[in-house]
Chain A
């Protein structure tokens, strides 16, 4: 199942903040974590992540520090700041609200009605 581009874009910041809530991480690991959590259903292009990280950093929601990888390469690690908590709480409430609405709408029947868009739904005419 492919997630639409709009839904990917809308959820990306919340997902990144949620991953960083569990601890400090870096770009490649964040992308792999998204793949793991989604069971492969969500495929971010690797390049999609970095503008999001830079925007969150510019907004003050995440901080960054330079460290070293296991092989001695320079690596940029990201972590949540204190300012992220109220933002994440707000995001959580918004997503839960939307989820509740959709769940309520989609749980009223087992399947969507099988009607042609141009067919009028009318009651059968009683026989005289």
Chain B
């Protein structure tokens, strides 16, 4: 059966959606032919059953595009993770701004936290963050935090004010792991 029968009806649609709808139309057409319709009758019947391909394409694009904020809310765990990283960034920024000679590691950790937190928030909002990327970003931010803290440990102006104990580093690593898990969870779309 010639699948070009519906080419003009599906013109302008995204390639994959057009292929999917074309398969549907051909199945419907073949069913119509088996029931005794003529080729043109079966073709028209298939198109009537499907409805407007352009309208279907428009609705499919809207349904698969998560940019509408009210359709993909962030879970509380994701909000906590993003806010947590931002607070850490603010904490580092406050120390860096106070010091006369902040270390390169401290500055890098500060920038890394800020950029990473904003990137995660943006990607979560778009609901486009793949699981691997979420875990990678979280581990990366945790790593930046560890490096920044270790770097800062050798500078007296931070050593006197921050508790650089193994317990603090453990808490930070745990926070990183928890936020990675929260960020990789797919948000459930509300109605």
Contact = CB atoms under 8 A, between A and B. Distances in A.
B59 interface: yes
Nearest to B62: A51
A83 B186 CA distance: 9
A28 B19 contact: no
Contact of A27 (B16, B24, B62, B66): B24
A16 to B, nearest CB: 13
Contact of A73 (B23, B63, B188): B23
Interface string A26-61: 111000000000000000011110111011011110
B50 A51 contact: no
Nearest to A69: B23
Contact of B52 (A47, A69, A71, A73): A47
Interface residues of B, number: 31
A76 B109 CA distance: 46
Contact of A28 (B3, B17, B27, B51): B27
A74 interface: yes
A76 B51 contact: no
Nearest to A57: B64
A87 interface: yes
30 contacts: A27-B23, A27-B24, A46-B49, A46-B50, A47-B51, A47-B55, A47-B56, A50-B17, A50-B20, A50-B56, A50-B60, A51-B60, A51-B63, A55-B64, A57-B64, A58-B65, A58-B127, A58-B189, A59-B188, A60-B186, A71-B26, A73-B3, A73-B22, A73-B23, A74-B23, A75-B20, A75-B23, A76-B16, A76-B20, A76-B23
Interface of B: 1, 3, 16-17, 19-24, 26-28, 49-53, 55-56, 59-60, 62-66, 127, 186, 188-189
Interface of A: 26-28, 45-48, 50-52, 54-55, 57-60, 69, 71, 73-76, 83, 87
